[in-house]
A and B are shown apart, each in its own frame.
Chain A
Amino acid sequence: DAGVIQSPRHEVTEMGQEVTLRCKPISGHNSLFWYRQTMMRGLELLIYFNNNVPIDDSGMPEDRFSAKMPNASFSTLKIQPSEPRDSAVYFCASNEQTDTQYFGPGTRLTVL
């Protein structure tokens, strides 16, 4: 299996621009997670989907962040408008129910 696939791997944008991060989970996995990792705050869960339905979005920092999962093989995390404090590494992870989480390589976002 190719593992969790994320794109782009690196994104540099200017404050105020819209950013879209993409994730393809492992085939057959029914849960998907979006995380953000920073030096200051460590690894934070942003949102969790089960069977394409958002179950817990309490970690989404504010309305500028939105996530969708239109089908079992694709999810997006969108930031609009982006701000410098959104600079971080964003990880997508997936698993089967009650199994371990498998992480993608991450998207390194820099907002200037």
Chain B
Amino acid sequence: QKEVEQDPGPLSVPEGAIVSLNCTYSNSAFQYFMWYRQYSRKGPELLMYTYSSGNKEDGRFTAQVDKSSKYISLFIRDSQPSDSATYLCAMSRNSNYQLIWGAGTKLIIKP
């Protein structure tokens, strides 16, 4: 079993829909949780960064961490075609370097 599980998709939704992306993990020692967005033929770029449990909001994006369930989510409101990309979750125990990555979910927003 992988330490971090993420459905690779693809997930296809119409423009304007609310998107929910998720990762589950097995290591309860993870404290730092990140979501990266990767456009085709580009490097991943950090989207959201959360420490420990709780919610964090940035514009149309909300990151949620539930450590009791070992489950993290990324919500995208009012989705746009420009949000079409692969979304990777990443997490670590106590430092930034030892990131454990999910497989990435390919998201397609249909106009």
A102 CB contacts on chain B under 8 angstroms:
45-46
Contact of A42 among B45, B95, B96, B101 (CB under 8 A): B101
* Contacts A103-B43, A105-B42, A105-B43 given; does A42 touch B97 at CB 8 Å: no
A31 and B88 alpha carbons, distance in the complex (Å)? 21
Question: Is A91 a contact partner of B43 (Cβ separation < 8 A)?
Answer: yes
| A79-101 at interface with B (beta carbon < 8 Å) | 91, 93, 95, 97-101
Question: Is B96 a contact partner of A99 (Cβ separation < 8 A)?
Answer: yes
| B16-49 at interface with A (beta carbon < 8 Å) | 34, 41-46, 49
Question: Is A104 a contact partner of B43 (Cβ separation < 8 A)?
Answer: yes
Chain A 23-67 interface mask (CB, 8 Å, partner B; 1/0): 000000001010000000011010010100001100000000000
A31 CB contacts on chain B under 8 angstroms:
96-97
Q: Interface size of A by Cβ–Cβ distance < 8 Å?
A: 24
> Which of B43, B88, B95: most chain A CB closer than 10 A?
B43
Smallest distance from the beta carbon of A79 to chain B beta carbons, Å?
20
Smallest distance from the beta carbon of A60 to chain B beta carbons, Å?
15
* Contacts A31-B97, A33-B97 given; does A100 touch B34 at CB 8 Å: yes
Question: Is B42 a contact partner of A101 (Cβ separation < 8 A)?
Answer: no
Question: Is A48 a contact partner of B97 (Cβ separation < 8 A)?
Answer: yes
Question: Is A43 a contact partner of B88 (Cβ separation < 8 A)?
Answer: yes
* Contacts A42-B101, A43-B101, A100-B96 given; does A106 touch B43 at CB 8 Å: yes
In order of increasing CB-CB distance, the 4 nearest A-B pairs are A103-B43, A43-B101, A100-B46, A42-B103
Measured CB to CB, the residues of B under 8 A from A are 34, 41-46, 49, 88, 95-99, 101-104
Q: Could you show 17 A-B contacts with beta carbons less than 8 Å apart? A: A31-B97, A42-B88, A42-B104, A43-B88, A43-B101, A45-B98, A48-B97, A50-B97, A98-B96, A99-B96, A100-B34, A100-B46, A103-B43, A103-B44, A104-B43, A105-B42, A106-B43
Measured CB to CB, the residues of A under 8 A from B are 4, 31, 33, 42-43, 45, 48, 50, 55-56, 91, 93, 95, 97-106, 108
